[in-house]
Amino acid sequence: MMASSYYQNLIKRVLEASTTDNWEIAVREWDIVDCEEDEEHASECVCGKENLRYLFTIRNRETGRSLYPIGSSCIEKFERDDLDYEVDVQMDMYRLAHAMERGGNE
């Protein structure tokens, strides 16, 4: 599948669960509510893209609908600085945890 198809799938899935068909408005309705790590990279994003490592859950605060799992690159497509920041923080927390795991056996 081509990259643009993933993007089209993402837009479709997000708009289906939003109050509007306007992408620019719809993206503002969503919050990140959870993040998990799949160390096996066995998960597939709502857009169809495979091999996800970080599995985010996003929820629309107007409709109450959730999308899971969604990858960090799809969240970037929302073009919201606050969501990008949240993604960075979550991924850093997992990286830090792994660094600590490697750092000692206490």
**Least Cβ distance, residue 105 to Zn ion (angstroms):** 37
Which of 49, 58, 59, 72 is the binder for Zn ion (CB under 5 A)?
49
Q: For 29, phi and psi rounded to 5 degrees?
A: -85, -5
CA distance 60 to 32: 9
- Residue 8: exposed, middle, or buried by beta-carbon count in 10 A (0-12, 13-18, 19+)? middle
> Is position 87 an interface residue for Zn ion (rule: CB under 5 A)?
no
> Is position 71 an interface residue for Zn ion (rule: CB under 5 A)?
yes
Cβ pair 67, 58 in contact under 8 A: yes
Whichever of 29 and 54 has its CB closer to Zn ion, that residue is 54
> Is position 45 an interface residue for Zn ion (rule: CB under 5 A)?
yes
Residue ranges that bind Zn ion, judged by CB under 5 A: 45, 47, 49, 71, 74
